[in-house]
Amino acid sequence: MDPRHGQGDGLGFEDLLDELEAIVQRLEGGELSLEESLTAYERGVTVSRQAEAILGAAERRIEVLSETGDSTAPLAGDAA
């Protein structure tokens, strides 16, 4: 998996952060119904988990590169 993209919907990390920020603004706006708020919150949790997965993948890549000291070495999960 490319660490710049989300798992299910193909959004990049920056896109996920933008969406999460928009969700928070909607929730803080106080104009959503209870049902709309719950739906927005659920989406926020999903987006947050996708962003965390991308960060985790990036951290693992950095760890591998730091251990091998070779930035050209293929990483697990990368296509050869």
Mean local confidence (pLDDT), 47-58: 96
Domain positions in the chain are 13-64
DSSP, residue by residue, 5-71 = B-SSS--BHHHHHHHHHHHHHHHHHT-S-HHHHHHHHHHHHHHHHHHHHHHHHHHHHHHHHHHH--T
**pLDDT tens digits along 9-31:** 678 999 999 999 999 999 999 99
Confidence of residue 67 (pLDDT cuts 50, 70, 90): confident
Q: Worst-scoring range by mean pLDDT, 7-11, 31-35, 44-48?
A: 7-11
